[in-house]
């Protein structure tokens, strides 16, 4: 029978109106009410938005298991990036041979107009100029005293939100905070700086830290905090790895950016009446960044322990960490299932031209020996996979640079909806990890052959989509 008039009776209509009213009333009752912007800012809902599948853990309990008793303060020069360290493991002759091969490869590539290493690619990479920066930062002529006001006073929660807002304004994407406890002082803060001046990080009974001729000093009795932040990098540039100045340009942009972000936040802190202790150069921080970025919940550890994965931006992120005396509210480590996924997936290890990433599926506390010697480039106390940093850094220079592990990573994805579905699935249902890893390869994601195609692509400013942080999306 055709229906030419409404079949809803007056009784049904009133019942529906009543139910809708009750529903709206219940929603209003359980929703938070804000009377002004300050109240809104102090609410947990004004926190940093993240995808729903990112779960918080307890403080100092990241997904990569830690044994703090095995840890000790690191010496910044004991990394694979450092030539004398390479020579210690490889021998001086082999180290010199590799550096000569690296210089020859680089010079020849640009002369032969090699794809990914043409003159314009070299120019792009060289364009990432870095300003000189210092531990104490530039002195601001504006201070609370000069303005005739008391120094800024806020709760740690308010300060954290303020710092997050300021840092995003200055160029960061995401910011996590931690308290510098005695444990952090004795285990995580480096003993010596990475710079060639090799200054010692010390804690002294002074009201304010300072930089000496042979030391970088933090105040011992003043409560200190660190805030780690991400500067996401251009995913497509990393996909041009290896042998790519485009990839190098994508990687080194973070240091160029940091060289202006650090003085900005140092000046900001001074005007508030506080101190921000910075890097001595854009590569040289007081606290190893993967450690602090993981502990403050910016992301999780990866199969390549020289890399890190953000649930929102993937593995192509630059990490930095600064120390301050402004009280901050710690942010907890997270679990988005990424470290668990890395235990199944070996895509980065398969792609690595230096074959320096572990293929194991069971992480271990034991740091394996390299070149017949104890691997002093790693600090123990983490149950993970151990990358040979010497092989990585010394080999990749001989082929014009490399970031293939990050470029090919299953998490180095763009904005397509399927990637959000995959991340949510692996976060909640690890039984699909093996299938999802194979699917990533089957669908052809990873590094690209046509390196020069990057120049014709439409890319976001500074290489990352800044809007994703504000809406809590992944990317």
Partner 1 sequence: MWLIISFVLGALLLGLVMWLRSSHVSLTWYEWVLGIVGLVLLLFTVLFFTDALGETESKAATMFLLVLGLPAVILLALSWQLTVRRIKKA
Residues near partner 1 (CB under 8 A) are 413-418, 442-445, 453, 457
Judged by CB, which is closer to partner 1: 49, or 441? 441
Kindly state the smallest distance separating residue 283's Cβ from partner 1, in Å: 31
**391 in helix, strand or coil?**
helix
Length of the chain: 475
Kindly state the smallest distance separating residue 440's Cβ from partner 1, in Å: 9
- CA separation (Å) from 24 to 8, 16, 33, 364? 22, 12, 14, 53
Kindly state the smallest distance separating residue 122's Cβ from partner 1, in Å: 24
Question: d(Cα 383, Cα 214) in Å, to the nearest integer?
Answer: 34
Task: Give, for 201, the enclosing helix (H) or strand (E).
Answer: strand 200-204
Judged by CB, which is closer to partner 1: 31, or 461? 461
Judged by CB, which is closer to partner 1: 129, or 443? 443
The answer to whether 381 and 68 have CB atoms below 8 angstroms apart is yes
Question: d(Cα 316, Cα 185) in Å, to the nearest integer?
Answer: 28
Neighbours of 469 (CB within 10 A): 23
| Sequence-ordered list of residues with C-beta below 8 angstroms from that of 375, at least 6 positions apart, any chain | 367, 368, 369, 386, 388
Kindly state the smallest distance separating residue 253's Cβ from partner 1, in Å: 20
The answer to whether 424 and 396 have CB atoms below 8 angstroms apart is no
Judged by CB, which is closer to partner 1: 279, or 454? 454
Judged by CB, which is closer to partner 1: 335, or 440? 440
**268 in helix, strand or coil?**
helix
The answer to whether 175 and 470 have CB atoms below 8 angstroms apart is no
Instruction: Report residue 28 as tokens.
Output: 């209003």
Judged by CB, which is closer to partner 1: 8, or 415? 415
Question: d(Cα 241, Cα 412) in Å, to the nearest integer?
Answer: 13
Kindly state the smallest distance separating residue 236's Cβ from partner 1, in Å: 8
Judged by CB, which is closer to partner 1: 306, or 315? 315
Kindly calculate the radius of gyration of the chain based on its CA atoms and give it in whole angstroms. 25
Question: d(Cα 342, Cα 411) in Å, to the nearest integer?
Answer: 10
Judged by CB, which is closer to partner 1: 260, or 453? 453
Kindly state the smallest distance separating residue 25's Cβ from partner 1, in Å: 33
The long-range contacts involving 154-163, CB below 8 angstroms and separated by at least 24 positions, are: 155/42, 155/327, 155/329, 156/327, 156/328, 156/329, 157/42, 157/329, 158/41, 158/42, 159/326, 159/327, 159/328, 159/329, 160/328, 160/329, 160/331, 161/41, 161/46, 161/47, 163/227, 163/326, 163/328
Judged by CB, which is closer to partner 1: 321, or 413? 413
- CA separation (Å) from 170 to 50, 146, 163, 218, 313? 20, 24, 10, 24, 19
Side-chain half-sphere CA neighbours of 330 within 13 A: 19
Question: d(Cα 177, Cα 168) in Å, to the nearest integer?
Answer: 14
The values of phi and psi at residue 265, to 5°, are -70, -30
Kindly state the smallest distance separating residue 468's Cβ from partner 1, in Å: 14
Kindly state the smallest distance separating residue 120's Cβ from partner 1, in Å: 20
Judged by CB, which is closer to partner 1: 139, or 471? 471
Kindly state the smallest distance separating residue 450's Cβ from partner 1, in Å: 10
Instruction: Report residue 360 as tokens.
Output: 């194991």
């Amino acid at each position: 029978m055709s229906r030419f008039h409404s079949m809803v009776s007056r009784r049904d209509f009133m019942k529906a109106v009543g139910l809708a009213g009750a529903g709206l009333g219940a929603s209003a009752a359980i929703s938070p009410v804000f009377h002004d912007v300050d109240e809104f800012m102090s609410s947990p809902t004004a926190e940093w938005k993240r995808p729903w599948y990112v779960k918080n853990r307890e403080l100092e309990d990241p997904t990569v298991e830690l044994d703090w008793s095995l840890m000790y303060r690191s010496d910044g020069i004991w990394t694979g990036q450092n030539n004398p360290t390479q020579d210690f493991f490889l021998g001086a002759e082999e180290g010199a041979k590799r550096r000569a091969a690296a210089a020859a490869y680089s010079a020849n590539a640009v002369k032969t107009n090699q794809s990914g290493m043409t003159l314009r690619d070299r120019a792009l990479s060289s364009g990432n100029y870095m300003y000189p920066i210092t531990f104490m930062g530039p002195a601001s002529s504006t201070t609370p005293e000069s303005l005739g006001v008391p120094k800024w006073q806020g709760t740690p929660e308010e300060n954290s939100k303020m710092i997050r807002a300021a840092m995003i304004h200055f160029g960061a994407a995401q910011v996590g905070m931690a308290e510098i406890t005695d444990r952090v002082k004795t285990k995580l803060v480096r003993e010596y700086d990475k710079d060639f001046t090799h200054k010692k990080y010390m804690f002294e009974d002074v009201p304010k830290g300072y930089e000496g001729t042979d030391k970088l000093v933090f105040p011992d009795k003043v409560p200190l905090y660190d805030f780690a932040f991400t500067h996401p990098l251009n995913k497509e540039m990393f996909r041009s790895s290896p042998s790519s100045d485009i990839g190098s340009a994508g990687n080194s942009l973070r240091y160029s950016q940091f060289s202006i972000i650090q003085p900005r936040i140092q000046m900001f802190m001074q005007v508030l009446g506080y101190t921000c202790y910075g890097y001595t150069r854009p590569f040289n921080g007081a606290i190893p960044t993967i450690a602090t970025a993981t502990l403050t919940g910016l992301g999780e550890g990866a199969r390549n322990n020289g890399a890190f994965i953000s649930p929102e931006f993937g593995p192509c992120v630059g990490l930095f960490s600064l120390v301050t005396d402004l009280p901050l509210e710690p942010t907890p480590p997270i679990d988005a299932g990424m470290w668990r996924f890395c235990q199944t997936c070996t895509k980065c290890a398969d792609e690595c031209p230096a074959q320096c990433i572990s293929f194991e599926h069971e992480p271990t506390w034991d740091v394996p020996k390299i070149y017949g010697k104890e691997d002093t480039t790693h600090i123990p106390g983490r149950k993970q996979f151990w990358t040979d940093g010497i092989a990585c850094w010394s080999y990749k220079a001989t082929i014009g640079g490399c970031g293939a592990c990050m470029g090919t990573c299953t998490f180095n994805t763009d904005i397509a909806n399927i990637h959000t579905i995959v991340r949510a699935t692996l976060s909640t249902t690890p039984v699909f990890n093996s299938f999802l890893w194979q699917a990533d390869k089957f669908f052809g994601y990873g590094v690209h052959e046509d390196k020069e195609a990057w120049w014709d692509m439409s890319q976001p400013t500074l290489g990352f989509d800044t809007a994703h942080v504000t809406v809590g999306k992944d990317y």
